[in-house]
Each structure stands twice: as structure tokens, then as C-alpha cells.
Structure 1
Amino acid sequence: MLQPKHFFLLPALLTLLAIIIFPLLFTVRVSFSSWDVYQAGLDYIGARNYLRVFQDTRFWESLLRLSVMSAISVSLQYTLGFALALAVWKQTKGGRLFRVLFLVPMMTTPVVMSVIWRTMFHESLGPVNDLLSVAGIGPVPWLSSAAGAFASVIIVEVWQWTPFMFLLLLAGLVSLPREPYLAAAIDGAGPWRTFWQVTFPLMAPISIGAVIIRLIEASKIMDTVYVLTSGGPGTATETPSYYIYIRGLRDFQVGYSAALSITYLVLMIVSLTIISKLLMRFLIGKDS
């Protein structure tokens, strides 16, 4: 039974419908049309766009590329973020200063950050190759070779989003109970054993949440690739988001790009659900 207080939810519900549900439903409708720059209107063409998606090897290659990129970058972010969180966790002198400094990369605008890193990775004028030349290495073709460009995107992602992992994991460490550590000290457990048998199991739920959040964000990587490599050289760093942008806003194949978007959304929901369940099962021993 509706009560007067329920009407206070109406503005939030209308906002949700306006910015989420309606665009999603409209995208689904567009995906079944032939809307492009040459033909106006939403002429219904059935599942023709989706059949084209399954035959589009460039899209599936970009999806595989993103999977590898996300797995490497998120793993490095988690490892480095956990290490930094452990280092700052019980540190008293200068702890607050380090916490602020570690968050600076995350507070940098992605586009500005990518422009800076593109300058740093310049093959002849960039400081990265200058530093490597001191060690007798280089010059490394960071942005002009497939392997170099792929590594560059991962480096930039790790540099920018490791502070996010650090922040979440540090919050989790601060909230851990003291009793298990007192019991471990009584049993004579050293730092390494205490970490693997006390800290890491207690941090498993927070770790899973942090990893899933970062995988969701990594699946949407677009601005870094756009500014840093433009998907190149060739398609070496092209991600599904960037490929959908090319099809929709460069080739103006709006109907097909909508089908790509819906397919990509479904794939991400399914894959992230499976990953979260696997992490829960292996790290916590629960299926949900």
C-alpha cells in the first residue's frame, strides 16, 4: 500500500529512469536497427547486428587483449597496493604524509595523466629512455611497438590505480581485530607466518571487493588508450570500449556499435560474476 512517504522516492526513481534505464532500453532498441550516417531512422533489422558481432574477429581480439591487460594490471595493483598498505599500516612517523602522497596519482585527471606519460615515453625526448640509457638499456620503442605500447598502458594503469587498492586495503587493515594477532604472537608466529595465516585470510573479503571493483573499472578503459596510444600501433592496444567508439563515433555505425555495447555488457556481467564466485570459493570457501 502506497503511503505519502513513498512519494519522496519519486524524484530519485525518475532520475534513475532518466539516466540509466531509459538509455539502456534505447540502446537495446538501436541495436536492432540499421541506424548509421548513411541511413536515418530506426528501421528494424532483427538480429543482423548481433550476428555481425559474433563474426567480428577484431572485437573478440580486443576482448582477449583487454582480459590479459586487466589480469596483469589488476594483479600488480593489488600486490603493490597491499605492500604499501602493510608498510603504512603500523607506521606512526610520517604515516599521514605517505598516505596523502600515495593518493596523488589517483587524483590526477586520466587525460592529463596520459598526456604526461606520453611525453615521458617519447622514444628520443622522453625521460624514461634517458634513465634507461644510464643503465645501458634502450632506446625502448614504448609507443611505436606493439609490446612497448601494451606495456605502456599497463604501467600507466598501475601507476594511477594502485593508490585505489592501497586506500581500500589500508582501510581493511585498520579495521582488523587485534585478538588473532595476540594469539599468533603467543604461538610464536613470525611476520611471514602471521601474514599468511592471519592477515591475508582476514583481508580476503576486502581483497575480493577491491579486485572486483578494479576489474569493473579496468573493463571500461578508454581515456588512457585514446590519449596514450590511440589503440595502436595498429590494433595492439585497442580495447572493446575504444573499438565501440570507433564504430559508433568515427564510422557512425550507430546500430552496430549499440549491438557491440550490449554484447560487451552481457559478457562483462557474466564473466565478473563467475570471477567473484571463484574468488569467494577459493579465498573464503563460500559459493556466494
Structure 2
Amino acid sequence: MTSIRRYKALFLLPGLLTLVLIIIFPLLFTIRVSFSGWNVASPEMDFIGGANFSRMVHDGRFWSSMLHLLVLAGGTVIIEYVLGFALALAVWREVRARRFLRILFLVPMMTTPVVMAAVWQMMFHQSLGPVNDLLSKVGIGPVEWLTSDRPAYVALMTVEIWQWTPFMMLLLLAGLLSLPREPFMAAAIDGAGPLRTFWRVTFPLLAPVSVTALIIRMIEASKMSDTVYVLTSGGPGSATETPGYYLYIRGLKEQQTGYAGALSLTYLVLMIVGLTIMSALLVRAFRSQEES
């Protein structure tokens, strides 16, 4: 029995070492860095206490980036869920070219975010982009998509929605394909129409998958930085900066490593707390819908 336990420990050892290397050690090192004044002018990792965190409290640009992320991530995930649900329902039914449509809808997700953002940057070009060209045909524009606050928000959300709606559709479609047929047969016998069947049967049964899809997508959206970097570079000014992009500016461009460590730790804690609260609220909301 002892030898079996020993072999179990040996099998677990590679996974534990990997966990230490890629998660625990970087986290501990970041904590150490966050209490230092390490930067390009002071390469020594001298201990300065909580000076970086005190500076962060008064850093309005960081807190503005958190607000930008809340608006961008919250708005895009909600729209992605609605559109993804609609697309999943469309290809779930017996329609022509169903398999082809499933593959076609996944194409945007197959492209890397940087490449997708670069393509959309050209499309949103004020004078040469096809988006303004199409709008001009109906008497709108030209719109300063990447140099005005609100249009820049719309541009960022459009790129994120375009790329990640297929991901939401894929998860919801997998959930739809796994649903039992009996509740739908009972609803048909009771004379329920498509809309009533959706609200009373499909939507409640898909609640666990919906919660999972929303949480996974919110976790991914909370790291939004590559699209911002390519599409707007946080502009105009700092109107579309997200915490990830702001950390890049402080840590890599300005080489304020100690301060960037404090920002990243705060960002991590806020994201864990926020996502935990959001997950609990989602579970409660969908559970009440399922019970009703």
C-alpha cells in the first residue's frame, strides 16, 4: 500500500513542479518586485515598502483603465452571448448546409487577435476604409473610428464581438446538442409555440452551459490588451486603455518594473473578486430561471 502511494506521488510530481514553475514562482516574484523600486534608473531590487501601492491609489489613469475594461468586457460579452445563442439555435435546427454554416461561423475565431485587429484597423480607416465608404452611401460619415472616444469604443467592441461570438456559439451549440428530447416533445404535445418553448424549456435547460460560457468568456475578456494595442494603442489619449495595456506601458515601455508589479497584483485581486461575484450572481440568476 505504501509503494502504491509512493508511485501516486511520483506521477503527481511533474504536474506539481509545472504548477510551481508557471504559477507560484512568478506570483511570488511579482509580490517581491511590487515592494521594490526596480526600474530602468534603479536596477537594484531595493525594498521600498508600500510606496508603489500608495502611488497606485492616486493613479487615476489606472482606475480609468479598469472602468474602460468593465464597459468593454461587459458590453462585448453580453452581445456575444445573445448573438452566439441566436447562431447556435440557427445551426441546431435542421437547415440546409448546416455543417457548412457551423464551420463558416468559426472562421473569425481561427485568426489570431493581432491579425484580426490589424485587418479591422484598415477597415476602420477614416478615408480609405470600407466601413466609412459603406456609410457614406447612406449619407453617414465619415466617422473618426479610431480617433474619437465613442467610435473607438464601438470599433474595439466590434472586433471583439466579431472574433469571439463563434466561441460562444460553439459552447452553446454543444449544450443544445446534448439536451434531452423528452421536454421538447412534452412542450409540443402541450401546444407550446417556438417562443414559449424557448423560454420554458430550451433556456432553462441550457442554464448551466450558459453560466460556464459567460464565465469563461469574461475571464478571457478581462485580459483584453492585444486588440487595444493594435487597433487604438489606448487612444485617443487614454480613452480606450485597459489595465493590460496600461501595465504594458508602465512595465515594458517605461521600465517601471516595481510599480508595474504592484499594478498587476492589484489587477489580479480585483479580477478574482469581481469574477467571483459575477459568477455567483450568474448562478443565482440562472438557477431562479431554471426553477421558475
Q: How far apart, in 1, do the equivalents of 2:67 and 2:125 lie?
A: 27
Structure 2 counterpart of 1:35, which letter? W
SS state of the match for residue 41, structure 1?
coil
**Which among 136, 145, 149 is matched to residue 133 of structure 1?**
136
Name structure 1 gaps, 5 residues minimum.
Answer: none
Q: Does 1:163 align with 2:161?
A: no
**Which among 48, 53, 65 is matched to residue 51 of structure 2?**
48
1:281 maps to what in 2?
A: 284
Q: Does 1:228 align with 2:231?
A: yes
Q: How far apart, in 2, do the equivalents of 1:5 and 1:262 lie?
A: 34
Aligned sequence identity (%): 65
1:28 maps to what in 2?
A: 31
Q: How far apart, in 2, do the equivalents of 1:127 and 1:222 lie?
A: 25
Equivalent pairs counted in the alignment come to 286
Moved over 2 A (4+): none
**Which among 138, 143, 148 is matched to residue 145 of structure 1?**
148
- TM-score of the superposition, structure 2-length normalised? 0.96
Q: Does 1:202 align with 2:205?
A: yes
**Which among 70, 73, 78 is matched to residue 75 of structure 1?**
78
Q: How far apart, in 2, do the equivalents of 1:274 and 1:105 lie?
A: 30
Q: How far apart, in 1, do the equivalents of 2:17 and 2:42 lie?
A: 32
Structure 2 counterpart of 1:230, which letter? S
Q: How far apart, in 2, do the equivalents of 1:45 and 1:202 lie?
A: 54
**Which among 176, 180, 186 is matched to residue 179 of structure 2?**
176
Q: How far apart, in 1, do the equivalents of 2:111 and 2:154 lie?
A: 20
Quote the offset at 1:151 in angstroms.
Answer: 0.7
SS state of the match for residue 131, structure 1?
helix
Name structure 2 gaps, 5 residues minimum.
Answer: none
**Which among 209, 219, 222 is matched to residue 219 of structure 1?**
222
2:275 maps to what in 1?
A: 272
User: 1:66-116 CA distances to partner (integer Å, 9 max, x unpaired)?
Assistant: 101111100110000000000000124211100100000001011111110
2:244 maps to what in 1?
A: 241
Structure 2 counterpart of 1:7, which letter? L
Quote the offset at 1:4 in angstroms.
Answer: 2.0
2:189 maps to what in 1?
A: 186
Q: How far apart, in 1, do the equivalents of 2:150 and 2:288 lie?
A: 38
SS state of the match for residue 40, structure 1?
coil
Quote the offset at 1:147 in angstroms.
Answer: 0.9
Structure 2 counterpart of 1:185, which letter? A
**Which among 21, 26, 33 is matched to residue 18 of structure 1?**
21
**Which among 111, 126, 144 is matched to residue 114 of structure 2?**
111
Q: How far apart, in 2, do the equivalents of 1:191 and 1:234 lie?
A: 48
Q: How far apart, in 1, do the equivalents of 2:238 and 2:8 lie?
A: 54
Structure 1 counterpart of 2:78, which letter? S
**Which among 119, 124, 135 is matched to residue 127 of structure 2?**
124
